[in-house]
């Protein structure tokens, strides 16, 4: 294997002083701001209404100026896009709509020139039904070896007319689909996404080869999709309770989530990464019980795993503090650093989520529009405050495209444009995830607000001109400028250490009642973050001179409800 020239091009790489005064190079991912690019909706260079690699290349200066350390690109491989690209037909090529392999190579190299690392999304649990392996399996008779790369089995009943198990798909409906010859294949997601059989040596080898392919092209890391799902109980038992969810939470010895056999596979990936220079990394999308997560983060497994607790948290000082405390401790226990995620391409955007009445279940992608009492201003204020929370914390923060513009969920997409398989699979009871995937508004004017020259694949809601990057750039009170300022400050002040202390606000001039509604933490560098989750303003224990940035209101005055401030102390 030939290693490419070092991709450790990060102009942002830092050294940290250790207790004995020596300098240690800190792996970049331990404290990176990683910007998630949903490529289909980021920037369209050729006017076909779909984002593409060259569109992303054109926005690299924007990302550099935003100050991010890395980008994570959602799957960009050849795909019929039955699940937005998480149905991969060829892991070594780029989707036609997105460009060419040469474009992708140019993107990686240009990102490196800007000091930005590139994390590629890999999908090991399933392929597309159009992947050559599945095409072969489907057209071969029962018993043919090509079928063993997937979970293709006879069903139950005399004529095999019942599926092999009662498992359900995460997207709704049964997890098995019948082939014309009577056998059934497993798909934990859409029928267009057959699950691979990871007991098969060719599957294991193929995936190592795919990782090698992208490592050789300079990929700095991998986001591993459904990392907790690849190994199945090969006795295929029925489940006592079936739920269409991605988590193993309440089920012991779950037949397809979080099985022990996963770990020996992860170790082979890690060994491969370790043969490359430049701190190549892997981050797991693993929806597992909190006590099981450290297993994925052992020194010879993943470098990081997404922590979705804040993303799922209600707006509460106590809940936020507890999550932060636990996450920092858990990461330290395994020698990793915590990750912070407020949203991604699978969930309702936080600027909307935080404006819903407390207790609203937004997780199942509801089919109905916003509750009449959706409070838009409130959601936006809280989202800005939450940004200062996660940008100030030690560890790695993931920012989903559009978060930095304060984009809300596009609730009211017309039914005829909905593309997420969840919409059909749920019999139109769940609208799906398209509302957080609407193309980015870059400019104040133009047919798709600067996204591209054609009609965007999902329409942008009326009124999004004001959210555009152009409208916000240079406006001191805009969300974009808030992100830019906070990320720049983080770099100079906060990022160089991994220390965090949760502060007791009663020790900083607040009374008991106020303190219960306030989150306060301090970093080793002195950067202090204070957030008011309550309903009345609270005093900030800082002078106007030591205040660095706030998410709303006026420096030097009491901190408004649903607002955060950073100061040095």
Q: Which residues bind ligand GLC (CB under 6 A)?
A: 83, 86, 123, 189, 225-226, 285, 345-346
Phi and psi for 30 in degrees, rounded to 5?
-65, -25
- Least distance (Å) from ligand GLC to the CB of residue 223? 9
**Minimum separation from the CB atom of position 312 to ligand GLC (A):** 14
SS (H, E, C) 122-159: ECCCECCCCCHHHHHHHHCCCCCHHHHHECEECCECCC
When the beta carbons of 433 and 508 are compared against ligand GLC, the nearer one is 433
| Residue (287 or 567) nearer to ligand GLC, CB | 287
Of residues 285 and 409, the one with the C-beta less far from ligand GLC: 285
28 versus 133: smaller Cβ distance to ligand GLC: 133
Which one is catalytic: 220, 225, 420, 434?
Answer: 225
Q: C-alpha distances in angstroms, 74 versus 46, 123, 374, 472?
A: 19, 10, 30, 26
Catalytic one among 44, 52, 87, 285? Answer: 285
For the packed helices 201-216 and 262-274, what is the interaxial angle rounded to 10 degrees?
30
Q: How would you classify residue 373: left for phi > 0, otherwise alpha for psi between -120 and 50, otherwise beta?
A: alpha
DSSP string, 206-241: HHHHHHHHHHHTT--EEEETTTT-S---TT-PPPSS
Residue among 192 and 562 whose Cβ is closer to ligand GLC: 192
Tokens of 363: 């997780």
Q: Which two tokens stand for residue 55?
A: 């569109």
Provide, rounded to whole angstroms, the least separation between the CB of residue 173 and ligand GLC: 15
Please state the closest distance from residue 124 (CB atom) to ligand GLC, in A: 10
Judged by beta carbon, residue 83 or residue 517, the one nearer ligand GLC is 83
CA dist 109 and 67 (Å) reads 18
> How many angstroms separate the CA atoms of 385 and 560, rounded?
11
Length of the chain: 569
Q: Where are the alpha helices (DSSP H) in 393-468?
A: 421-425
Q: What is the CA radius of gyration of the chain?
A: 24
Residues 6+ apart with CB under 8 A from 21: none
Find the residue with minimal CB distance to ligand GLC: 86
By CB atoms closer than 10 A (0-12, 13-18, 19+), residue 281 is buried
**Helices marked H in 393-524:** 421-425, 469-472, 479-489, 512-515
Specify whether the CB–CB gap between 25 and 12 falls below 8 A. no
What is the CA 356 to chain-centroid distance, rounded?
A: 22
Give me the least distance between CB of 292 and ligand GLC, in Å please: 17
Of 301 and 346, CB closest to ligand GLC: 346
Distance in Å, CB of 244 to ligand GLC, minimum:
13
Residue 105 Cβ, how far from ligand GLC at the closest point, in Å? 25
The residue among 266 and 422 lying less far from ligand GLC, judged by its C-beta, is: 422
- In the sheet with 33-37, reading across from the earlier edge strand, the strands are 304-305, 281-284, 221-224, 117-122, 70-73, 33-37, 396-400, 339-341
Cβ distance 76 to 53 under 8 Å? Answer: yes
Q: Are 122 and 211 in contact (CB under 8 A)?
A: yes
The nearest distance, CB 189 to ligand GLC, in angstroms, is 4
- The answer to whether residue 470 is catalytic is no
- Smallest distance from ligand GLC to CB 353, Å: 17
Please say if 350 is a catalytic residue.
no
Smaller CB separation from ligand GLC, 88 or 374:
88
Smallest separation, CB 303 to ligand GLC (Å): 19
Q: Which is nearer to ligand GLC, 105 or 312 (CB)?
A: 312
40/56 Cα distance (integer angstroms): 10
Contact criterion met (CB below 8 Å) for 85 and 193: no
Provide the edge-to-edge strand list for the sheet that holds 176-178. Answer: 152-153, 184-186, 176-178
Catalytic residues: 225, 285
């Amino acid at each position: 294997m030939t290693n490419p020239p070092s991709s450790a091009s990060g102009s942002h790489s830092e050294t940290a002083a250790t207790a004995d005064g020596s300098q240690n190079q800190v792996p970049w991912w331990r404290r990176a701001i990683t910007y998630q690019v949903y490529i289909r909706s980021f920037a369209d260079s050729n006017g076909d209404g779909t984002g593409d690699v060259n569109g992303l290349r054109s926005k690299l200066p924007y990302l550099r100026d935003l100050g991010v350390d890395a980008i994570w690109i959602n799957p960009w491989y050849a795909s019929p896009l039955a699940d937005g690209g998480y149905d991969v037909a060829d892991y070594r090529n780029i989707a036609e709509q997105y460009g060419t392999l040469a474009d992708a190579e140019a993107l990686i190299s240009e990102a490196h020139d800007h000091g930005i690392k590139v994390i590629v999304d890999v999908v090991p649990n399933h392929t597309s039904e159009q992947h050559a392996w599945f095409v072969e399996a489907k057209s071969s008779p029962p018993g043919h070896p090509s079928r063993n790369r997937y979970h293709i089995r006879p069903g139950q009943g005399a004529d095999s007319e019942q599926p092999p198990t009662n498992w359900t798909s995460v997207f709704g409906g049964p997890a098995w689909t019948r082939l014309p010859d009577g056998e059934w294949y497993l798909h934990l997601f859409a029928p267009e996404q057959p699950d691979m059989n990871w007991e098969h040596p060719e599957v294991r080898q193929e995936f190592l080869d795919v990782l090698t392919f992208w490592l050789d092209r300079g990929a700095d890391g991998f986001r591993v999709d459904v990392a907790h799902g690849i190994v199945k109980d090969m006795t295929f038992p029925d489940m006592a309770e079936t739920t269409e969810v991605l988590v193993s939470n309440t089920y012991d010895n779950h037949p397809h989530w979080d099985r022990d056999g996963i770990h020996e596979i992860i170790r082979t990936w890690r060994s491969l990464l370790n043969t490359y220079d430049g701190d190549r990394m892997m981050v797991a999308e693993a929806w597992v019980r909190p006590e099981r997560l450290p297993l994925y983060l052992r020194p010879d497994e993943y470098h990081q795993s997404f922590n979705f607790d804040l993303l799922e948290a209600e707006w509460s000082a106590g809940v936020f503090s507890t999550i932060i405390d636990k996450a920092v401790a858990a990461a330290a226990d395994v020698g990793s650093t915590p990750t912070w995620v407020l949203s991604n391409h699978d969930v309702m955007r936080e600027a909307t989520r935080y404006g819903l009445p407390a207790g609203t279940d937004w997780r199942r992608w509801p089919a109905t529009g916003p509750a009449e009492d959706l409070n838009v201003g409130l959601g936006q204020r809280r989202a800005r405050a939450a940004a200062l929370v996660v940008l100030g914390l030690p560890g790695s923060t993931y920012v989903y495209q559009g978060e930095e513009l304060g984009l809300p969920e596009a609730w009211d997409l017309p039914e005829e444009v909905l593309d997420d398989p969840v919409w059909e699979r749920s019999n139109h009871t769940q609208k799906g995830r398209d509302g957080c995937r609407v193309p980015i508004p870059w400019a104040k004017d133009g047919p798709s607000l600067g996204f591209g020259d054609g009609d965007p694949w999902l329409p942008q809601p009326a009124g999004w001109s004001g959210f555009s990057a152009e409208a916000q750039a240079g406006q001191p009170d805009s969300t974009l400028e808030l992100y830019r300022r906070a990320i720049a400050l983080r770099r100079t002040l906060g990022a160089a250490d991994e220390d965090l202390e949760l502060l007791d606000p009663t020790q900083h001039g607040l009374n008991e009642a106020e303190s219960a509604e306030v989150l306060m933490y301090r970093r080793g560098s002195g950067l202090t973050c204070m957030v008011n989750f309550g309903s009345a303003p609270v005093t900030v224990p800082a002078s106007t001179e030591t205040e660095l940035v706030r998410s709303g209101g006026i420096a030097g005055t009491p901190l408004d409800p649903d607002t955060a401030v950073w100061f040095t102390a």
